[in-house]
Amino acid sequence: MPAAQFMAVFGPYAARIQQVLDRFEPAVLATAARDVQEQHHELPLRPEEMTA
C-alpha cells in the first residue's frame, strides 16, 4: 500500500491516538511503554503478527 493511501486510511487514527496520549504525563507513558515492551502472551496474535 503506498504511503499516501496508508495515511488516508490510518492517518485519522494516528491523530486521535496522539490526542489521547497527549493527556498523560510523559513519565506515565514511559513507565507504561517499559512495562509492555515486547510482550505478546496476553494478546491473541497469529504467528505472522508476532514481532519476536
pLDDT in tens, 1-52: 899 999 999 999 999 999 999 999 999 999 988 887 776 677 788 888 877 6
pTM for this entry: 0.54
Angle at 27 between CA 38 and CA 23, to 5 degrees: 100
- Residue-level pLDDT at 44: 83
- Residue-level pLDDT at 39: 67
Contacts of 1 (CB under 8 A, 6+ apart): 9
- Residue-level pLDDT at 47: 83
Give residue 15's Cα distance to chain centre: 12
